[in-house]
Each structure stands twice: as C-alpha cells, then as structure tokens.
A = this chain, B = another copy of it.
Amino acid sequence: MSIARKPNPARRSEQSRQAIFKATRELISEVGYANVSIEAIAARAGAGKQTIYRWWRSKAAVVFDSFLALSEAGRQEEMMLPDTGDIEADLKLVMRATVTEFADPDFEAPIRALNAEIINDPDLAAQYREKLAGPVEEAKKARLCSAQRAGQIAADADLDLVLELLYAPLYQRWLHRSGPLTPEYADALVDLTLKAFRP
C-alpha cells in the first residue's frame, strides 16, 4: 500500500549533485572510504541529508557515481588500445601500465574500497561491470579479436576467458597483497596466456 514517492529527476539540482560528488571524493581521499559518512558528505557539500537519500540508495552508490562522474568527464571519445600488429608486445604494454597504475597510492584506497563493496553488493557489481569495467573490457576484446583474425590467438578462443586469465591473477595478487606486482610478472602473465590460447 506504500505510496512510492518518486522524485522528479527533471527538477534535480545539478549544482547539489556536483557539490556532493566533489565532497565525496575529497572526503574519501582525506579520511578513507570507511570513515566517510553521509552526514559528512552532506555537511561538506552544503547539502541536506535528504537530498542524498532522495537520489542514492547507499553510501556506496554515492561513491560509485562520484567516481563514475570523474571517469566520464575524462573519457576520450572511444576507448582504444594500441594495435601494432604484435599482440604480445601490445598486451605487455597495457599490462605493465596497469601494474604501474596499481602502484599509485592515490588510486589504491578508493579502488580497494570499491572492490570490497562490489563483493557484497550485487547491484553495485552489475553497475560496475556495465559502467566502468564494460567499456574497458570491450576495448581489450576488440584488440584480442584483431589478434584472433591475425591468427595469433586460437579462432575458437573465448575472449572473456582470455581476459580473465590475463587479469584475474594480477587483480588477485594486488587485492590480497599476496605477492609483488612487477613488470616481469605482467610479462609472464601475457606469455602464459598467449601460450594457453595459441592456435
């Protein structure tokens, strides 16, 4: 019998939205995801708490959108990976870049927090795959497809599986801190994966 009050997005204040995103990002980098409260976000953004509760389900959702807004702002037309014709070299380049990125302490905290939330929140996981991981994976698969056509990867290879073999060990090692992330490690993963999917 509940009268589902549904706010009208047309009337939404873009100014508040941006202020909330900004406050959220600042607070996360200042005190860490776990110590960020909705109260603090609202106070910092000069927004009422209700304005947050009206538009987001949870703190995780606010945080997610805050980062999404950032990444969308900086998004180039299309995500494109290098294609020199040499899949091994191209992949190693990309994987080494990922390794470097993961070493940046500024990215560390929010990405870890995001991953932790995703594990327990299916909705958030779906959004993550659709909005953040999806586009990047598409670009990677495009490059792999090109390699497939060039006969460098088995024609019947499942490209999702290729990506998992390449990246899952890397992510796991980073998330669990179970070993060092070196360029050599990246190279080894590329070599092994290509060997596994050799035609």
**Do most interface residues of chain A lie in helix, strand or loop, or is the interface mixed?**
helix
A4 to nearest B CB, angstroms? 15
Known A112-B119, A192-B196, A196-B193; judge A172-B177 contact (CB<8 A). Answer: no
**A188: interface (CB < 8 Å):** yes
**Among B125, B158, B160, B179, contact of A160 (Cβ-Cβ < 8 Å):** B179
Question: Which residues from chain B contact A49 at a C-beta distance below 8 Å?
Answer: none
In the complex, the answer to whether A125 meets B165 with C-beta atoms within 8 Å is: no
**A149: interface (CB < 8 Å):** no
In the complex, the answer to whether B165 meets A161 with C-beta atoms within 8 Å is: no
In the complex, the answer to whether B112 meets A120 with C-beta atoms within 8 Å is: yes
Closest residue of chain B to A160, judged by CB? B179
A193 to nearest B CB, angstroms? 7
How many residues of A are in contact with the other chain, CB < 8 A?
38
Closest residue of chain B to A191, judged by CB? B196
Closest residue of chain B to A177, judged by CB? B125
Q: Mark A167-199, 1 if CB is under 8 A from B, else 0.
A: 111011101111100000000100011011110
Within 111-126 of A, Cβ neighbours of B (below 8 Å) are at 112-113, 115-120, 122, 125-126
In the complex, the answer to whether B176 meets A169 with C-beta atoms within 8 Å is: no
Question: Which residues from chain B contact A173 at a C-beta distance below 8 Å?
Answer: 164, 168
- List 21 A–B pairs whose Cβ atoms lie within 8 Å, in order of A's numbering: A112-B120, A113-B120, A118-B175, A118-B176, A119-B176, A122-B177, A125-B178, A128-B176, A164-B168, A164-B169, A164-B172, A168-B168, A168-B169, A168-B172, A168-B173, A171-B172, A192-B196, A192-B197, A195-B195, A195-B196, A195-B198
Task: Sort A-B residue pairs by CB-CB distance and give the 3 closest, nearest first.
Answer: A168-B168, A196-B196, A164-B169
